[in-house]
Amino acid sequence: MSWHSRGIAADDLAALDAELADEEDYLDISRHGIVEVVGDDSAGRKIIVVSACKLPPVGKETFNHAKLLRYLTHTLDTFVEQDYSLVYFHYGLTSKNKPPLSWLWQAYKAFDRKYKKNLKALYLVHPTNFIRIVWQIFKPAISVKFGRKMMYVNYLEELAQYINLDQLIIPPQVIEHNEQLLMKNKKNLPASPPQSAVVTPVGTTQFGASLQFLKENNNGDPIPPILRQCVEFLDTPDALETEGIFRRSANVAVIKELQNRCNQGLPIDFQGDPHIAAVLLKTFLRELDEPLMTYELYDEITQFQTLSKDERPRKVKILILEKLPEDNYQVLKYIVQFLSRVMDRCDLNKMTSSNLAVVFGPNLVRAPPARGMSLSAIGPINQFIDFLFTYQDKIFII
């Protein structure tokens, strides 16, 4: 269906007021893939992955560790205002690519309170004696509170208890190393998490289903029941004015329990907590069998920054109003119009269009499974979603 048949006016949207300020070119750092930003963990927190094996050998090529540190802070700056988790794959750090201890200390000092406050978990995967020695050296200067966030993870199977491994970009050499460790230490294999005994009735499944399936099992209503329930709970003054709404995480066990009840067709209770409803809403979007902004549109969305200001309104109209399937359009419209009311209270909840774009970008837009989400795609995706939120009243039919 075209935007003409949906009744949208032919006038172009107003161009963005200003472009983002020029930033330092980090292409020489980002091409190594040392830092990646992936999906959310089971508590609704953004996951940032750092892989030591991708650090280039010192001396073999000129690698600017000081610039790497700036790149790390530049990456985190986008996410530190919301709860996030950090996964560090230690395997592959050798005497050839190991940064000096002085750099590690500079890195710790560079990550001041604003970076540490909302870091909820730091997973150190495949730790060695080197990590433990560094920890003992730095321990007197590291706060007890920060120390509690650190977790040694000996196997990927242990990490899977906290994070869906399918979301992570795990280097092949890390996977191979993990297999070797398991073979070597068969007696110490981590116990498999217990399988749920609950059998989900197919007709009531909502999490992980397709929009078509949900519509067929919801009397033809394109808005899934759990999405409507979350929005109606959050669309009240008290919830809309909650500071940090959609940026805070929630108890993992509570979210899993609500998902299970929802999939069984049982009533659910948000316990009067807007953050539970907000995380459940994000979880629903993240677990759709295909993202709301379909895989087919991924390349066009990630090229958004290459468009001129004059091109953007027309391109967005075509993408949303012509290329997005009708059911996806209706659900997206429902969500975006609700989020416009969240933005109307941004003086109280601190959720501007750009803040919401950071939160919802990866939940609305995902890379096709065979490709995985690259860090370079995060910026264009967030900017596209920010544009969509800002000009929603000119894009969607009221």
Fold for 211-395, please state it: Phosphatidylinositol 3-kinase; Chain A (1.10.555)
- Residue from 169, 100, 92 nearest 126 by CA: 92
- Quote the pLDDT of residue 371: 67
- CA atoms of 140 and 29, how far apart (whole Å): 32
**Domain limits of the chain?**
26-184, 211-395
- Quote the pLDDT of residue 137: 67
Average predicted confidence (pLDDT) for the chain = 82
Straight-line distance from the first to the last Cα atom of the chain, in angstroms, rounded to the nearest whole number: 16
Summarize pLDDT for 209-241 with one digit per residue, the tens.
999 999 999 999 999 999 999 999 999 999 999
- CA atoms of 330 and 228, how far apart (whole Å): 12
Give the residue-averaged pLDDT of 74-81.
76
Give the residue-averaged pLDDT of 30-40.
80
Is it the case that residue 110 has pLDDT exceeding 70? yes
Give the residue-averaged pLDDT of 173-198.
69
Cβ neighbours of residue 134 under 8 Å, at least 6 residues apart? 101, 104
Number of neighbours of residue 377 by Cβ within 10 angstroms? 22
Summarize pLDDT for 253-306 with one digit per residue, the tens.
899 899 999 999 999 999 999 999 999 999 999 889 999 999 999 999 999 989
Give the residue-averaged pLDDT of 373-379.
73
Fold for 26-184, please state it: Phosphatidylinositol Transfer Protein Sec14p (3.40.525)
